[in-house]
Amino acid sequence: MNRRNFLRATGAAGTVAFFAATPVAQAVAGTMKKSELMGFEAIPISTADTVIVPKGYVADPLISWGDALFANSPKFSQSNDSKAQEMQYGDNTDGMTFFPISDTRAVLVANNEYTNNEYLYPHQGENISADDVRKSQAAHAVSIVELVKKDGKWQVNTEGRLNRKLTAYTPMEMTGPAAGHDLLKTKDDPTGTKILGTYNNCANGQTPWGTYLACEENFNGYFAASKEVELTDEYKRYGVKEKDWGYDWWKHDDRFDIAKTPNEPNRFGWVVEIDPMNPNSTPKKRSALGRFKHENAAMAINDDGHVVVYLGDDERGEHLYKFVSKNKYKPGTHSSNLDLLEEGTLYVAKLDGKEGELKGNGQWLELTFGKNGLTPENGFNSQAEVMIFARKAATHVGATTMDRPEWVAVHPDNKHVFCTLTNNKYRGVKDTQPVNVANPRVENPYGHIIRWEPKGGDHTATDFDWDLFVMAGNPEVHKGLMAGTDNVNKDNMFNSPDGLGFDAAGRMWIMTDGKYSNKDNFAGMGNNQMLCADPKTGEIRRFLTGPIACEVTGLTFSPDYKTMFVGIQHPGEGLAPSHFPEGGNAIPRSTVMRITRKDGGVIGA
């Protein structure tokens, strides 16, 4: 099909295929064909404290918070100290990538986003000591774990040479336009290029040259002020306040006290590129990709070789971004690609359309110093400042406010891109976030998934067409927009889509981070879950349900797509009654699950 006309053509044909979410589709609701892409039987919701997968599938734990990363790692105990935690798998598992080395050897790189005081410490966060902070900083990590295929199963290899733990105090290097800028300089780092650590890495990305991208998200929640400070507009826009979110790092680590280290917040909120195959490599923060609350980094190699990275900023009313590399990807030549993310152009999305149509067109607006009014008279003095305060630049150029952009995923046909917009209680409530064409529901409690196609299938193009692939909702409770689109029904209800990824066959996997009360507006949705969608037919089927009070997040596959790895994050958060995965009286622990088929087949097929 002529891709340029794909959006129009499928709509004109009146099929449910592309416009599953639009009035066109609703007119033909009920004619939806059963997907041939998905071969598993959908499962019902669950409120049980376990992971449930379809008939013929097996789910078992691969690695949990506190499990050994090294042969000499101490055994897990809630009272482990920081030294022990440095040698163990981190907490709150999130985005991850499987990097194959051979048929029987691989590396799993995974983010450990944050910690929960109620489980991290036996004292649940009362009087956090210096070592407690160090332990928390070691549990916030990117864990690099060697896997070995033994007895037909991928398993952790604690003897692996590549095993490594990157923590909130591992040395990293700042690169790109912001490197060395005054706003990044601190007492301990007068160069503005040598940053200690990465933390609150939510989701991730990977590159075809074999590196991993960790994405720093809610970095603001770790900063506090030991005495009164002026809260600048820039602090405010990024949510840096005089009080932190309860981690207490600032009490024992001056970096996190903005009264003592005012520039430290500027050193977080970046995408970090990590070479998992070189245990001595220094991770690089890529300032050309902008500073915001990064969710993930979804890469497409454009037909002309430019590297394009789609990026969400997960905050109510923030934006959707795109980076285009200056240089081109050269297949097969690893080293020449290693710095492709150092230089390029960042754009932010503006979406237009007719009210009520749930589709339209859009433009990528350039965030380059000197262009689009990003000039000194408007408070932007350099490209470094545009990147460090990318949110302010985005607002200045007229970007569209979105309902919390979470993961972006590029379809394997490499022309269609999807993004989860998880929910937004401020939509239509705050003056700064009026309802708009792409975010059409007041308070959006359920979330939606937007899809776009770059003009001409060219990811570097500034124009695109978009539609809403699905609006989640509850058709048992509501009518109209809150019921969701016609591909949502009583058997596949969910809320707050967050994790998103494709397999090679084009099945789209949706993970949720939503309300699990299973009551009132959320009745019939159960625990957080994973669903599978067929982008062609619009059909969505529930594939996995998580344990009590967890989020399902993090997805990667073995290259044969016969093993799927899925993250179960913070089971039992807030002291909810979970003992996952061990059961008994054990405290719940975030866990990477390994999913296989009993007949050894491809997952989802």
Using CB atoms within 10 Å of the CB of residue 234, give its burial: 0 to 12 exposed, 13 to 18 middle, 19+ buried. Answer: middle
The answer to the question of residue 216 lying near Ca ion (CB under 5 A) is no
Contacting ligand FEO within 142-201 (CB under 6 A): none
Q: What is the CA radius of gyration of the chain?
A: 23
Q: Which amino acid is located at 457 in the chain?
A: G
Select from ligand FEO, Ca ion, none the partner in contact with residue 244, using the beta carbon and a kind-dependent cut-off of 5 to 8 Å.
Answer: none
385 touches, from Ca ion, ligand FEO, none (C-beta below 5 to 8 Å by class): none
Using the rule CB under 5 A, is 513 a contact of Ca ion? yes
Q: Does 202 bind ligand FEO (CB under 6 A)?
A: yes
Per-residue contact string for residues 160-199; x = within reach of Ca ion by CB under 5 A: ----------------------------------------
The Cα-based distances of 498 to 48, 95, 121, 493, 501 in angstroms read 21, 11, 28, 15, 10
Give which of Ca ion, ligand FEO, none residue 551 binds (C-beta under 5 to 8 Å, depending on kind).
Answer: Ca ion
Taken in order 511, 512, 517, 522, the sign of the CA dihedral is negative
We find the least distance from the C-beta atom of residue 554 to Ca ion, in angstroms, to be: 9
Closest CA to 601 of 563, 557, 555, 559: 563
Rounded least distance, CB 485 to ligand FEO, Å: 23
What Å distances lie between residue 393 and 4, 106, 114, 322, 390, CA to CA? 30, 41, 28, 14, 5
Closest approach of Ca ion to the CB of residue 216, in Å = 13
Residue 217 interaction partner, one of ligand FEO, Ca ion, none, beta carbon < 5-8 Å per kind: ligand FEO
Are the beta carbons of 300 and 418 closer than 8 angstroms? no
Residues 280-339 touching ligand FEO, rule: CB under 6 A, are: 295, 314
Tokens of 157: 């290899």
The answer to the question of residue 406 lying near ligand FEO (CB under 6 A) is yes
User: Minimum CB separation from Ca ion for residue 127, in Å?
Assistant: 26
Among 244, 313, 498, 534, binds Ca ion (CB under 5 A): 498
Q: Does 49 bind Ca ion (CB under 5 A)?
A: no
For ligand FEO, give the closer residue by CB, 406 or 534: 406
Q: Give the single-character DSSP code of 250.
A: H
CA dihedral 471, 476, 482, 485 (to 10 degrees): 30
Closer to ligand FEO by Cβ: residue 501 or 538: 501
Strand order in the sheet with 497-502: 497-502, 508-512, 529-533, 540-545
Mask 518-557, x = binds Ca ion (CB under 5 A)? ---------------------------------x------
Residue with tokens 């009920």: 30
Give yes or no for a contact between 330 and 337, defined as CB atoms under 8 angstroms apart.
Answer: yes
Report the residue closest to Ca ion, judged by CB: 513
- The residues that touch ligand FEO, with contacts defined as CB under 6 A, are 113, 202, 217, 295, 314, 406, 498
